[in-house]
Amino acid sequence: MNLLLPISVLLTLTACSMAAPAGAQTNAAAAPVRLPAREKLHLYLLMGQSNMAGRGLLGEEDKVPHPRVLMLDTNGVWQVAVEPITHDRPKMLGVGPGLAFGKAMAEKNPAVTIGLVPCAVGGTLLARWRRGGDLYSNAVHRAKLAMKAGSLQGILWHQGESDSKPGLAETYGARMTQMIRDLRADLGTPDLPFVAGQLGEFLYTRKTNNVPEAVTVNDAIARLPKEVPHTGFISVKGLTHKGDQLHFDGASQREMGRRFAAQMLRLTVKPAQP
């Protein structure tokens, strides 16, 4: 699709100096897009495991682009965002919360373009997302690459299924808190907003292989705003799985994206002065 956005400065970022990282789309043949001035391109880093990457069934609405929602592919090139925006597992691709989040943010602020930076990889432990881990390093690398063109505004996080087990769930909150501190330090953004999504409540009581430790992880996520400044969390109450009792379905993923947007706006939009 030869689509040029009706905004000013033409810029195509160069390819990453490292091998194409997991967690984003590759499409070397895509036409470059016109980017706005740096302060008008608001960047959001998408981190976590499969429910952030997206496993929901794709619908027609997921293929409809928004003229002010872009994504950074694995070649370091900006593209108009359509699902799937994350290509971590080629045989398991689906809709995640990222695009719905981007569309909701764009509609709330018509003066800016939203730049999504997908980094999520399914089946991953928090250990790989902490400083020194491969996925942490990749996320910081991609964020800094994107920041050449835009302004980093926040991070979305959905992870914890892999840490919902004895010996890991109990320390999840402390380890997530340290990750946030390290990310803010390494990205030079001490007050960077961070919104975490809770795990599906269907994990608690599924008929086989239920995961009671998911309650502990969800409790840690819910406490985050009280323990770390400039953070929020989203409840996934009422959202449903796609039949596997693990991954949210397409409709739930879109709703999760809108809930992420509501929390991000709460953290980033200043109240009007009287």
CATH number at residue 128: 3.40.50.1110
Nearest-CA neighbor of 35 among 134, 137, 114, 142?
114
Task: Indicate the pairing of strand 78-80 with strand 41-48.
Answer: unpaired
Residue 138 has what pLDDT?
Answer: 96
Residue 208 has what pLDDT?
Answer: 67
- Give the pLDDT confidence of 181-194 residue by residue, as tens digits: 999 999 999 999 99
| Count of the separate structural domains present in the chain | 1
Is residue 139 in some structural domain?
Answer: yes
User: Helix, strand or coil for residue 127?
Assistant: helix
Is residue 41 in some structural domain?
Answer: yes
Is residue 273 in some structural domain?
Answer: no
**Tokens of residue 215, six digits:** 């309650």
Is residue 110 in some structural domain?
Answer: yes
Q: What is the residue type of 209?
A: N
Residue 1 has what pLDDT?
Answer: 34
Contacts 24+ apart (CB under 8 A), 206-214: 206/245, 207/245, 211/161, 211/164, 211/165, 213/164, 213/165, 213/166, 213/168, 213/169, 214/160, 214/161, 214/164, 214/169
SS3 content of the chain, % helix, strand, coil (to 5): 35, 15, 50
Is residue 241 in some structural domain?
Answer: yes
Is residue 77 in some structural domain?
Answer: yes
Residue 271 has what pLDDT?
Answer: 56
Specify the pTM: 0.87
**What phi-psi label fits residue 54: left (phi over 0), alpha (psi between -120 and 50 degrees) or beta?**
left
- Give the pLDDT confidence of 39-88 residue by residue, as tens digits: 999 999 999 999 999 898 888 888 889 999 999 998 899 999 988 888 88
Nearest-CA neighbor of 252 among 234, 240, 235, 237?
240
Note whether 63 and 82 are within 8 A (CB): yes
Domain containing 247 equals 9-268
Residue 16 has what pLDDT?
Answer: 32
Is residue 1 in some structural domain?
Answer: no
What is the DSSP secondary structure assignment for residue 67, as one 8-state letter? Answer: T
Give residue for tokens 């397409």. Answer: 250
Q: Which of the residues in the chain have pLDDT under 50?
A: 1-29
Nearest-CA neighbor of 12 among 22, 27, 153?
27
Residue 169 has what pLDDT?
Answer: 97
